[in-house]
Amino acid sequence: MPKERWAATFRSAAQLILHELAAVYSYPPPDLEAFLTQEALNQPPSRQTLIGEVSDALSGGLSA
């Protein structure tokens, strides 16, 4: 299965699970768009370290 199709399938399954959990527990599903946006804007220090390490590794590999 192509990567894009796998991602779409996973998202569909995740949405179904969230909706089922919301129905079972009478709780509204979380606003995933707002959550992901907030996560992208407020990155934890560990993610910044990882991004820097990957960037350094890639730039070092390109200049070698």
Q: Residue 63: which domain range?
A: 31-64
Both 38 and 64 in one domain: the answer is yes
pLDDT at 64 over 70: no
Per-residue pLDDT tens over the stretch 8-60: 788 888 888 888 888 899 987 778 888 888 888 887 777 778 888 888 888 88
Both 1 and 26 in one domain: the answer is yes
Neighbours of 50 (CB within 10 A): 12
Both 15 and 44 in one domain: the answer is no
pTM score, whole prediction: 0.38
Query: CA-CA distance, 18 to 32, in Å (whole number)?
Result: 10
Number of domains forming the structure of the chain: 2
Both 35 and 64 in one domain: the answer is yes
The residue type found at 21 is L
